[in-house]
Structure 1
């Protein structure tokens, strides 16, 4: 498969894939246990932890936008990546060393959320490096790099399951995540291409902050980010509902939740790697719409099939739809700001913010009115509506370059 060969043999693409894989492993080590750490280890109550999550969501978006714009302004991406990783390492070191509620809040509300902009920065590097290869291979390259995140995440989850089953305490996850973060710092320091010495051209944008923000918030761009946010909201809602739907059923347990999530994430990896074989046969917007329909059907069916053996049949459509809606929007958003790879990466943070809002709305209204079944149905409906709106906007735009194909 050509995209895999290109990533393997191109040093910058290989670095991007490795960094994303390690980032997936870091989040797989930390993210599933943050809420338990907050309440059981650091003594926060539900309201306190909710406030931490709310602040973290805003800091993540602001950090991604600010650092993305800064990288475009100067075209000095290596120092920005090192600064971002510095925030990550400082946050993890702080909470690992002090083990206090204040250190936990500072790390998880400010430092670690600000460091999530690394995701967009690595994909900005991948986009720039992909410019040295045939244009038709770019979506496939992004799919291969994105598959690394799922691979890293899936690889560490069973390791921690065994570790906790053997008696390890939750307090070890942050030092372990710190070790992964330090490996990422070493990789960037040693292998990130030196600014001005790259085989691709990366010109400074010269835009002031206000002008760059105005460019990102142009109605043509903002409408598409919101539409993709509705699609992404289905993924956020799935994460919230799968555990609640399964653990409240007699005969189901947290082990079923872990197994289901693990199967879906594990199947996503080969399906993402296989995406280049279908790209080009349909428009990117059309494939996102197809992915939203398949993933939405999977999401809507979970609460109804949770008591039955048919639940496990949903893992395949869940992985197939997820492979499409987790991968294709990356290149789509980058193409909205084609000559601003940093700001294009920051649009991913805005998409996630919109997705969080969509998921929260579906969950709140659905559970208030009828329960998890309605919440899942609303989230699926919003995802399909967002993908449909995206496809219609691109179709009406009509002109090449105005909207990604």
Structure 2
């Protein structure tokens, strides 16, 4: 049985780590072999220099010269026995050496860090005279050392792109599912609501039902509003410039009548009223969801404060409750479809609200502040 924590993302990351780790170890092994071969090549080159200086045999000199000229990759600097640069070097940029007097000294220090012990060519025993040869990494060795780093970057980029693509695909699938469910709900509600409207017209003809009919009419209108809201999910709603303040005030009054006496509502508006583009039915739905969420957090006792701030570029709405707050470890999860901490409910209210604000109104909906035992503030930012 596969453990619950072992999902495809973890498996993908583990495989990537194994591949990259194996590559790094193998690259280090190859780089070590190349470095060993390069030292042998430098030793052979130094021996060729000895032959050129000391041998009288033409064949030996020709062979040594050939060995000497074949080194076109490994940079070498020659010093005397006191480590003073003689001016003899190989496979370094001559133009840079000419333009920068310190270039050879800087390279020598770099080579000494790479190889502490030089290859020594003794010229005379008495007085002792010798040349020291320091060498650096060839281009091939540098590429071998850089290869695992480049591969690590490529693998990390591949994993990132794969995860983003899969996450986007999953989110799009979820969005289509919620939109399909909303449209189907609207379709299913449509028939009984139409029937109720017909029966309501019949009841209006009977004077006995004067007190009942208005209340039923309110409920039918409410059902029509809910049907209209669900029908707008999944399609681009028509936006119009609206003043959100009266709408919010109306929603607060509506919710007040359906809450207990121990819940206090406060509503404030600052700044000159601005008119963002809104879909009024969907915006009302968002506000109702946030207020209902606040009421659930209060558990029948506390305060809900709604503050509107009009700015030149945005209309900001803060919905604050004095409830139990949201634990830090789940703040990022509250907008996920299906996530809920309640015993009842599908966990779609905040998810749909975020979709309405961000996708349809091009705004933002997020948790501005939350602290355990003190409350939570949800913020809506609507562009003007």
TM-score (norm 1): 0.23
Larger radius of gyration: 2
Structure having the higher helix fraction is: 1
Specify which structure has the higher proportion of strand. 2
Q: Which has the higher contact order (CA 8 A, sep 6+)?
A: 1
